[in-house]
Structure 1
Amino acid sequence: MSRLGRTRVQIAGALLFGVLVPVTLRWGADLDGWLLPEQITTIVATTIAITLGLIGLRQLARLPGVEESIYCVPALLVSFLLVLAALLMLRVEYNRYLFPTSFALTIVWVFVAHALNRRYRTVRLAIVPGGEVDTLTAIREVEWLPLDAPTLPKGRLNGLIVDLRQDLDPRWERFIANCALAGIRIFHVKQIRESLTGRLEITHLSENTLGSINPDALYLKIKQGVDWILALVALVLLFPALLLVGLVIRMESPGPSIFRQMRVGFRGQPFEVLKFRTMRHDGGPGDTLDSAVTTDADPRITRLGKFLRRTRIDELPQLINVLRGEMSWIGPRPETVPLSQWYDDQLSFYRYRNIVRPGISGWAQVNQGHVAGVDQTLEKLHYDFYYIKNFSPWLDVLIAFRTVGIMVSGFGSR
């Protein structure tokens, strides 16, 4: 990584380009203009917004599949809006020229820095032969450098990959030790595969498997409180629109507007999930395994139902489930009781996904979409395990950003 890719350099450049430049252009040598209370307040506020936004962007960039240039605008927009909300609530005067100008120039700086740093972006990883390392070459985001002899390849190198569970030749063991002493990062094959694919595969239990993916208990409680507040606010703001959607559903086809179904939730407890009805009332999913699976171009889905499913509007009544403490905004999607029982019989560790509250959206949904069948569900389970192991506000923010994009694109809907 070049110096432009370092967090402190990006923050310093953004403060110079996004704060000092517009202030200098506006007031120049007029020190009285610089020292006005609202100017000082705005400078402090934009400095906080820029710092929080870029730190958040860097945290998101550590997650699989994140391109900084794509998420730079959402991350900085959220941080600037949060700081602006704080200024408005505290009734603090700020400069209406400097604040939006700083936001725009910071975006320009991040894009310029990203473009200049692009040639250092490709990750180059050397691979020690043996074990499961052959499975890595299918991942395209990395330049893989398989080694035939214990000698480092020429050029820039981001790390060395090795399957630490295999018995290594003493020559390779000395080579790995020398690389570590030289400051080269050593990655276990399973660790790098997880970080690049966003999936955590568990094929057998070890002495620390379950302990390593236990979700953080403190964040679990904080998340529940934040979920409840946001769900209450969203329900109040969206209530007229939700009533309108319910009325249109009743007009299109006979039956109730709200569809109710038993699903398996937090810690394996069943609960009644609420959704807008998207299927004909006489052909909706029932309590059997076949009826619980939605297929491509399912004839039971109504015309309005297709739109509601594509935009995920059909999930909005689950805000009530969030208020009841049965669900979260973000988490593994809850499965129907018959599907959950069937998957539990077919897949090892399936029920462990219920260690966190199910969500309206989740990591598997934004990466995979709707699934049907054991193979796809096993892949979905790997995404769920990754979410549980990396349970954090940054991963939740990333899922929220991607969910908005999915609501627009309709990715993975059925």
Structure 2
Amino acid sequence: MQRYLWQYLSLRLITGWLIVAILPAIILFWNYILSDNIQITQINSVIASSSVIVFSLITLERLTQFPGQKSMVTVLPTLLGIGIIVGLVLFIFRLPYSVYYLIASAVLGMLFCFTSQVYLRAVTQVVIGYVPIGRSQSLLDITHVRWVELTPCFKPTHLSLSFHAVVADLADQSLSAEWEQLLAETALQGTPVYNVLQVRESLTGRLPIKHLYENNLGSLLPSQSYLLIKRLMDTLVIIMTAPVVIPVVLLVAIGIRWQNRHNHESVLFTQHRIGQGGKLFTMYKFRSMIADAESNGAQMATSNDMRVTKFGSFIRQTRLDELPQFINVLRGEMSLIGPRPEQLDFVKRFNETIPFYRYRHIVKPGISGWAQVMHGYASDEDETKVKLEHDLFYIKNFSLTLDLLIVIKTIQTMVTGFGAR
């Protein structure tokens, strides 16, 4: 498949660095450069700007590799996040810097990244050739991909000019020796050949539970080193955000108390949930439902649940009802990111009816997660199976990059009120 030059990260890094870091330095510091009198303030500023643009472009490249991600959504949060980190370094170590240069560089950085991502979206339509045998036909319902049906008379030597990849159901017994030879020649010519399950997983962000036995379960084990790092990061983030979170918590508590001023219901709602390793713990949430919401037993929440109060609908939509779970995170019962903890009654039922459901408990449950931002609420068992496939994808791709993407999508939902919940 022919690649455009702009699709190479190295070219974007060099171009971005020249435009965002070097160009404003030449314009603003030209007299100092001519007189060979460059100041430490200018050097620090160029290093800071270079760090932001380089790490931003690398992060955007990693984030947009995950299924269903619109690159434009991640640009501003990525630039802001990395910019804040670099700014904190300058502040903590009291390094001198040029305000005018950094402002000019920041404007150029936003313009460059947005323009770059717009162009990348225009030239990177995925084209995949598929062998029309077995489960390959089931891929055709996946949008944003141009599917091209292959015939036994296609020429593998020409594939490098027309396809990003070729997909086939390699486990299907009807895959003839002729097809196998053609697929082998395709791979030798430089066009990757994938099994149908790999492609479905990478394009949908879900790990199909029907065919989980075809994966090596050992490969789904999360990184133990990252589990430790994640625990430290969770604690650090909560401590650092406490000055902002505590006032918000107080305001939400006052709003709930006003909503329930005619009864004596508590502001917090507690419920037993299943955590890592199947252990039971008490989860905290702000009360968002009416007092007798579960008088008829445990019920699955829906996007338009009639049990939710008016103020409760707002805090659920913006995820503010989850803030008390910071207590659970500090106690080590939950993480900021992970599969949502489920009620005991539902877990008992799903363990019996949904294959591999227990496997989602191999990591700590989270306040937000991949299934939450990609799917939202599950109102029945079929939707729970879909959410489980998202959870298994998260466990298999357990990493800092995926956690960062989930954080960005969660913040987007909190600020705009739109997105999966």
Normalising by structure 2, what TM-score?
0.92
Note the C-alpha offset of 1:11: 0.6
Note the C-alpha offset of 1:234: 2.8
| Structure 2 residue aligned with 1:284 | 293
| Structure 2 residue aligned with 1:309 | 316
Q: Distance in 1 between matches of 2:214 and 2:171?
A: 15
- Equivalent positions of 1:6-85 (< 5 A) are 6-28=8-30, 30-31=32-33, 32=35, 35-85=38-88
Q: Distance in 2 between matches of 1:353 and 1:46?
A: 41
Report the CA distance shift for 1:50/1:296 in structure 2 as closer, same or farther (over 3 A). closer
Structure 1 spans left out of the alignment, 5+ residues: none
Pairing 1:265–2:271 present: no
Q: Distance in 2 between matches of 1:40 and 1:231?
A: 34
Cα offsets for 1:366-412 (capped at 9, x unmatched): 01111111100000000000000000011001001101111222434
| Structure 1 residue aligned with 2:399 | 392
Structure 2 spans left out of the alignment, 5+ residues: none
Preserved contact between residue 303 and residue 377 of structure 2 (Cα < 8 Å): no
Q: Distance in 2 between matches of 1:94 and 1:387?
A: 40
> Runs of 4 or more off by more than 6 Å in structure 1?
none
SS in 2 for 1:161: strand
Give the root-mean-square deviation of aligned CA atoms: 1.9
SS in 1 for 2:134: coil
Report the CA distance shift for 1:399/1:194 in structure 2 as closer, same or farther (over 3 A). same
1:244 to 244, 251, 260: 251
Q: Distance in 1 between matches of 2:360 and 2:5?
A: 40
Preserved contact between residue 63 and residue 405 of structure 2 (Cα < 8 Å): yes
Preserved contact between residue 292 and residue 338 of structure 1 (Cα < 8 Å): no
Pairing 1:163–2:173 present: no
Preserved contact between residue 32 and residue 38 of structure 2 (Cα < 8 Å): no
Report the CA distance shift for 1:34/1:335 in structure 2 as closer, same or farther (over 3 A). farther
Q: Distance in 1 between matches of 2:36 and 2:74?
A: 34
| Structure 1 residue aligned with 2:222 | 215
| Structure 2 residue aligned with 1:121 | 124
Q: Distance in 2 between matches of 1:234 and 1:285?
A: 33
Q: Distance in 1 between matches of 2:293 and 2:118?
A: 51
Note the C-alpha offset of 1:118: 4.4
Number of aligned positions between the proteins? 410
Q: Distance in 1 between matches of 2:305 and 2:75?
A: 38
Note the C-alpha offset of 1:208: 5.4
Normalising by structure 1, what TM-score?
0.94
Note the C-alpha offset of 1:75: 1.3
SS in 2 for 1:97: helix
Preserved contact between residue 27 and residue 34 of structure 1 (Cα < 8 Å): no
Preserved contact between residue 169 and residue 195 of structure 2 (Cα < 8 Å): yes
Note the C-alpha offset of 1:279: 1.7
| Structure 2 residue aligned with 1:138 | 141
Note the C-alpha offset of 1:83: 0.8
Preserved contact between residue 292 and residue 336 of structure 1 (Cα < 8 Å): no
Pairing 1:381–2:391 present: no
Q: Distance in 1 between matches of 2:37 and 2:335?
A: 46
SS in 2 for 1:243: helix
Preserved contact between residue 264 and residue 270 of structure 1 (Cα < 8 Å): yes
Note the C-alpha offset of 1:36: 1.2
| Structure 1 residue aligned with 2:355 | 348
Note the C-alpha offset of 1:212: 1.5
SS in 2 for 1:406: helix
Preserved contact between residue 298 and residue 345 of structure 2 (Cα < 8 Å): no
Note the C-alpha offset of 1:297: 4.0
Pairing 1:178–2:185 present: yes
SS in 1 for 2:79: helix
Preserved contact between residue 150 and residue 171 of structure 1 (Cα < 8 Å): no
Preserved contact between residue 200 and residue 383 of structure 1 (Cα < 8 Å): yes
Identity of aligned residues (%): 35
